[in-house]
Structure 1
């Protein structure tokens, strides 16, 4: 390559590289917007605008670690703000980038896939969500272990969406298999363990065995009261079911 008189090739090459100051400034901007969300539980518009402004920035590309983190927070906050369909879109777009950056077996990549599946289910397509969990769980079990907390939560959501998709018997069997693991991993008084037992009882009732369902509710009530408190909405629901059963059987 020839150079013109007075041209400094090394300087031109250095000038073409991203400035460290530019990287730091862009990362700092993201951190400040993320902090806004942490403090206020908000920040969705600010974070979306910040990511849009950085979209054309060659310094922080789509799979830069800081941008990956910010996109995950944007999806989560959008979900919490009630726009589940939009959150699903953000999670869906994030999955290939985070898998390429961190690997398909990385815990954060698996978590993004889990949240994408959950938003899909809550957007009105539980059968699709069920299928997404069916593909995700074996990968998570291989990477994290079958008794990792994240895997237990995935299995709980898998059972829930299986039931919502109309397969009550399949959901019942999934809960029966899940509950002992949840008791070991999360603890018997954890809200998700207790809720799994509640949903199992409800499914058995809907399938057509109210007697067994009542026995499950009756055994669950003292555990709910101990674990969640007597005034928790789910405790009150279970108590109402048990009391209604008792009142009904007194009249017959």
Structure 2
């Protein structure tokens, strides 16, 4: 994506909408939200957070604090704060968003489950592994019930739980969960899908931490090819730091 051009386009659209529709028109706020997302994708997290905050405040004033669009804005702001490693602020915002979504949408609504998942990830990033594990297990159970076992969000929860188990040194459980996730993702999306490759890599890391060698070995050409493919896949998802690390590892 040509980010600068996209950003200029959003800015132009916002100015036109502000002139024609007004600063607090819902269409104007949608464009502001899109600009904030574009800024986040460029790694401009401080600017993105400022834009998300402004959008959220305007939505709250226009639609109310418990409107789904306002809650979506709160979630976006939290992610931008998290990217800046402002974990305390992000956690407080996640907790607030989760409570509001549970009240407004219900405990088993997909948006509520997204908030639970995001909060669990943030807890893990802060090293609160026991809390993170408990929340990931709860989210996984609800997603399996509501969405089904092979839904992408359910598989994401399985992967997140496996990573959290691994962080606590629970390698046997993590390995089993990664293996199960990989098979389900491969069946649903195909062997060459970026999510399948990511899952394969996560399993390989867990095996490596246990001192278990892979079938082909680290320096086999097929292994190196898979690492390179994964790096490209991460890059295409905008996960540039992870992609760079994987490229370095393959090199």
Query: 2:129·2:168 contact (CA, 8 Å) conserved in 1?
Result: yes
Give how far 1:238 is off: 4.1
Change (3 A) 1:174 1:194: same
Tell which structure's C-alpha radius of gyration is larger: 1
The residue aligned with 2:183 is 222
Identify the range of structure 1 (190-199 vs 108-117) with the bigger mean alpha-carbon deviation.
Answer: 190-199
Equivalent residues in 2 for 1:235-250, closer than 5 Å: 235-241=199-205, 244=208, 247=212
Equivalent residues in 2 for 1:42-81, closer than 5 Å: 43-52=6-15, 57=19, 60-81=21-42
**Alpha-carbon distance in structure 2 between the residues aligned to 1:117 and 1:224:** 28
- What's the Cα RMSD here? 2.8
Equivalent residues in 2 for 1:42-121, closer than 5 Å: 43-52=6-15, 57=19, 60-121=21-82
Change (3 A) 1:82 1:42: farther
Change (3 A) 1:111 1:41: farther
Structure 1, residues 55-96: CA drift from partner, whole Å, max 9, x if none?
6x5x64321223222212221222233322211110011111
Query: 1:218·1:242 contact (CA, 8 Å) conserved in 2?
Result: no
The residue aligned with 1:197 is 158
Matched residues, number: 210
Give how far 1:54 is off: 6.6
Identify the range of structure 1 (151-160 vs 126-135) with the bigger mean alpha-carbon deviation.
Answer: 126-135
Partner SS state of residue 104, structure 1: coil
**Alpha-carbon distance in structure 2 between the residues aligned to 1:229 and 1:176:** 26
Identify the range of structure 1 (83-92 vs 197-206) with the bigger mean alpha-carbon deviation.
Answer: 197-206
Give how far 1:239 is off: 4.5
Partner SS state of residue 214, structure 1: helix
Change (3 A) 1:47 1:238: closer
Query: 1:230·1:236 contact (CA, 8 Å) conserved in 2?
Result: no
Change (3 A) 1:242 1:224: farther
**Alpha-carbon distance in structure 2 between the residues aligned to 1:144 and 1:42:** 37
TM-score, normalising length from structure 2? 0.73
**Alpha-carbon distance in structure 1 between the residues aligned to 2:137 and 2:155:** 13
Query: 1:71·1:90 contact (CA, 8 Å) conserved in 2?
Result: yes
Structure 1: gaps (5+ residues): 1-36
The residue aligned with 1:34 is none
Query: 2:49·2:80 contact (CA, 8 Å) conserved in 1?
Result: yes
Give how far 1:50 is off: 4.6
**Alpha-carbon distance in structure 2 between the residues aligned to 1:205 and 1:156:** 17
**Alpha-carbon distance in structure 2 between the residues aligned to 1:81 and 1:206:** 29
Give how far 1:164 is off: 0.5
